[in-house]
Structure 1
Amino acid sequence: MLAVALGIVTIRAVDLFLIGALAMGSQTAFAISSWHGWIITVGAAEIWIRMTRSALLTHGPTNA
């Protein structure tokens, strides 16, 4: 559920930037922001997984 919320927030943030800063039409901005927001969210998730996986493999599980 948190991942979906983060994805929606990222898409809306990119959408607001495109509409406000670049004066882009709302339909075009939504299409572009959907792709960019999705790519940013997936990229951040991949980085997070790679960072936490290496820590987990190095130190083992934290719960005893």
Structure 2
Amino acid sequence: MKKFAIARRYAKALFIIGKKDGNFEKYLNELLTLNEVIEKEKKLWEILVNPLFEFDIRKKILKE
């Protein structure tokens, strides 16, 4: 349940930012694309949530 509360806070913040800066649709599309990729590539999700991988490595993987 805690994970959902945290996710809800981030989602709400992103929604507010998107509305303020006019990039709501862009952020939504990027999140939907990321979700599709994670659904297809389960290993990617395992890497992204694994604390053994340094942040810079995870960031580099996402950019690719």
The TM-score normalised by the length of structure 2 is 0.40
Q: Which has the higher contact order (CA 8 A, sep 6+)?
A: 1
Larger radius of gyration: 1
The TM-score normalised by the length of structure 1 is 0.40
